[in-house]
Structure 1
Amino acid sequence: SGRAEIGAHLHPWTTPPVDRSVEGDQRHHPFPHELPEDLLEAKLATLTDAVEKAAGRAPTSYRAGRFGFTGLQIAPLLSAGYVVDCSVTPYVSHAHLSGLPGGRGGLDFRAARPGTYYLDCDDCTRPGQSSLLEVPVTILFPRWPSRSWRACQAWQVRGAGRPVNRLIGRLGHGPRWLRPWRNTRAAGLIRIYRAAQTLALPCVEMMFHSSELMPGGSPEFPDQAAVERLYGVLEKTFAFMAADGCRSVTLTEFARNFSGRPEKGGPSRY
């Protein structure tokens, strides 16, 4: 009907083919970017075919599992017909997360910024010349200017990063995801939306896991009451956005209409 889109989300440990010589026994949950190129391409082909068979249409939007996205995935995605990625998390580092033993581990996206851009094959945190559009997760600073956070990042000493980041978060300096957590209120999400408007971003992108809509599917939402609260937060947030003139589109729809230039008179409201 065009009201929703099923994209591809690649978790290597649940996607065939499996190469035990590379992936071991799968308990380490490897990142996509830790795989050899040929194995990554084979898994992407499996996932793409599975989505097409289930949904009746090949996926054209992508997110790497555990946000494990590098420029090496751009060419295979384009070859498979993808037009947009949404794996980049501006201002956020996942470097503390481990994957394959001896592997690269999680990626650091602190250099990325929240705008929409065509990806650079050498550095996916910056604009480049590829035809794959990046629509990052909306992560902003609704309370403090980002320069305060950047100043704090600059004096972090090696090994003290995570404790310092936790302190920054408690003080309200840290980046905030457009993403509902257990104690999230609609007002907090609306504040992030307003921050996006201030920056004239062409769209906002919220994320959450489908399992979080199932009681007990996530530690964040352990029972029916918690899930009902989540629905209430989402309803209030989306109602506010709709009343403000924001309309919902799929990632692919946005990508195919993205010109790279702000609309005359202000930002697009997606």
Structure 2
Amino acid sequence: MHWPADFGTRFTIFVDTEEEFDWRGPFSREARGTTAIAALPEAHRRLSEAGAAITYLVDHPVASEPRAQEILADLLDDGRTGIGTQLHPWVSPPHDEDVNTRNSFPGNLPRELEAAKLDILTDTIRSAFGRSPRIYRAGRYGIGPNTFTLLEARGYRIDSSMRARYSYAGQGGPDFSAVGNAAFRVGGLVELPLTTVYTGRLRRFAPGLYSALGHVPKGRGLFSRLGLLSRVALTPEDMPITDALEAVRVAVGEGTGLLNFSFHSPSVAPGFTPYVRDAADLREFYRWWDAVLALLAKLGVRSASEAELVEAIGQS
């Protein structure tokens, strides 16, 4: 897909706005806590004051909890903040499937069940926030053969379920290792992959070299430490600041039209994700954003809101 000429180089921040759960444990229908949402207004303020428009991709435990609804509704009042959908099937009714790793990818579910979960979640978001969601992300990036037709029939305009240059095939999920960072059309939808950048002196040989290194014990880690080749996703979660800054420079230099950033909402409070375990990690989380947003501003990369994305797609 080609962005309109006046769109320029932009960036998005899509937040996986979700319940708290044990990242090391099995999937559980009972894990529906949303206490970390109380920390979102501070994170929102800091990112917004730096010029970022944020889109919250909300799952069922968040969309159906009154206090979480209230907090997010207040954030939407600024006119720049967007709301979208994230489907975690194990906590999204109807609960007609077994809870296991394969079924944690919603695209693996039977068409009728995937559709039913999508309908209930879409209606819950519409009822809670007074607007129809237009952006979708499958939980665990788990799109399947029916996902795009189901989304299009329900008025969605954008999918952001593909994590460029990653594969979940070993867990029964999709393989995006051949997907790049450019936006593209799938029927009546536009796919906005999460941006992943190869950096290092040998990046011109990726992705073939990166794939081959996966078969060498500690090969990827060694090449990364030597500055030869790294795979850097645009997220503050487990991605060092220096790597992220280099990835932004490379992406912009390569002509990437839209840089798609993401993080999980529980990371804005200590103790809910492995990425932000304590107050020190939270300070590092914000330091990461301060540095990245400053570089984006220096490079002239502007934020794109949900409304601006949808408008640009209609013009392209």
> Structures share a fold, TM > 0.5?
yes
What is aligned with 1:57?
131
Which AA in structure 2 matches 1:135? L
| Among 205, 228, 238, the residue aligned to 2:283 | 228
What is aligned with 1:115?
182
Length-normalised TM-score, structure 2: 0.68
| Among 87, 92, 95, the residue aligned to 1:18 | 95
Alignment of 1:1-270 (within 5 A): 1-19=78-96, 23-25=97-99, 30-97=104-171, 105-119=172-186, 130-152=187-209, 164=216, 166-172=218-224, 173-182=229-238, 184-185=240-241, 187-258=242-313
Length-normalised TM-score, structure 1: 0.79
Change (3 A) 1:165 1:211: farther
Q: Residues 4 and 250 of structure 1 are in contact (CA less than 8 Å); yes or no, is this contact kept in structure 2?
A: yes
Which AA in structure 1 matches 2:283? E
CA distance in 2, matches of 1:234, 1:85: 24
Q: Percent identity?
A: 30
Secondary structure in 2 aligned to 1:87?
A: coil
Q: 1:232-269 CA deviation, whole Å, 9 max, x = no partner?
A: 210221122123222212245214303797xxxxxxxx
Change (3 A) 1:133 1:14: same
Secondary structure in 2 aligned to 1:171?
A: helix
What is aligned with 2:75?
none
Which AA in structure 2 matches 1:50? T
Change (3 A) 1:73 1:163: same
CA distance in 1, matches of 2:235, 2:209: 24
Structure 2 runs not aligned, ≥5 long: 1-77
- Structure number with higher strand proportion: 2
Structure 1 runs not aligned, ≥5 long: 98-104, 120-129, 157-161, 262-270
What is aligned with 1:267?
none
Query: How many residue pairs were aligned?
Result: 235
Q: CA deviation at 1:5?
A: 1.0
Secondary structure in 2 aligned to 1:141?
A: strand
Which AA in structure 2 matches 1:2? G
Q: CA deviation at 1:165?
A: 8.0
Q: CA deviation at 1:149?
A: 3.1
Q: CA deviation at 1:148?
A: 2.5
Q: Residues 182 and 226 of structure 1 are in contact (CA less than 8 Å); yes or no, is this contact kept in structure 2?
A: no
Q: Residues 196 and 234 of structure 2 are in contact (CA less than 8 Å); yes or no, is this contact kept in structure 1?
A: yes
